[in-house]
């Protein structure tokens, strides 16, 4: 199972569509916030994909939730933007929330800084930002052998 993880596209529909097309084998697309409009467009353009999205601090006039929890291939995934968990100051609150939910994987954004780490049974991935600085996104592979998280540079 391949999951494409993006965040902080901030109105850049072209970048998001480009990455989705590049990774057409991804069955699930997760948008970790600050791109509610783009996530909605992706849902419409790719009805064959499961699209999970959450609201970020810059997503106004949306009914997207602030967190989503879903399971796939026996793994529970906790998705949030991160601003409500203070991720710019550290990951403690977000990881506690993910662990309390029984998650195996935590996906978040907000900082625009990519991160892929494993901490005591919890895979943690921030795909960075598709729009700013050096744009990046993430991939999560769930196989019989385990979970692999990866940060990928987006070349405009």
pLDDT in tens, 98-131: 999 999 999 999 999 999 999 999 999 999 999 8
Give the pTM. 0.97
Q: Given pLDDT bands bounded at 50, 70 and 90, which one contains residue 133?
A: confident
Average of pLDDT values for 36-51?
A: 96
155: confidence class by pLDDT, cuts 50, 70, 90? confident
Flag whether pLDDT at 97 surpasses 90. Answer: yes
| Residue indicated by tokens 């998001």 | 16
Percent of the chain at pLDDT exceeding 70: 100
Residue 88, judged by CB atoms within 10 A of its CB (0-12, 13-18, 19+), counts as exposed
Taking 90 as the threshold, does the pLDDT of residue 12 lie above it? yes
Out of 22-31, 84-93, 125-134, which region has the weakest mean confidence (pLDDT)?
Answer: 125-134
Q: Express each pLDDT in 46-90 by its tens digit.
A: 999 999 999 999 999 899 999 999 999 999 999 999 999 999 999
Reported for 27-31, long-range contacts at CB under 8 A and 24+ positions apart, including other chains, are 27/1, 27/2, 27/3, 28/1, 28/2, 28/3, 28/4, 28/52, 28/72, 29/3, 29/4, 30/3, 30/4, 30/5, 30/6, 30/77, 30/79, 30/107, 31/6, 31/7
- Tell the residue number behind the tokens 């049974």, with chain if given: 121
């Amino acid at each position: 199972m391949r999951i494409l993880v993006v965040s902080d596209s901030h109105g850049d529909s072209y970048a998001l569509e480009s990455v989705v097309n590049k990774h057409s084998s991804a069955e699930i697309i997760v948008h970790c916030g600050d791109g509610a409009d783009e996530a909605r467009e992706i849902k419409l353009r790719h009805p064959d994909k499961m699209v999970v999205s959450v609201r970020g601090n810059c997503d106004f006039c949306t009914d997207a939730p602030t967190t989503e929890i879903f399971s796939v291939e026996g793994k529970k995934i906790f998705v949030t933007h991160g601003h409500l968990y203070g991720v710019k100051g550290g990951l403690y609150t977000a990881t506690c929330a993910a662990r309390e939910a029984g998650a195996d994987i935590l996906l978040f954004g907000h900082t625009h800084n990519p991160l892929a780490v494993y901490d005591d049974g919890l895979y943690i991935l921030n795909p960075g930002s598709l729009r700013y600085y050096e744009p990046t996104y993430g991939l999560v592979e769930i196989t019989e052998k385990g979970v692999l998280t990866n940060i990928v540079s987006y070349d405009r």
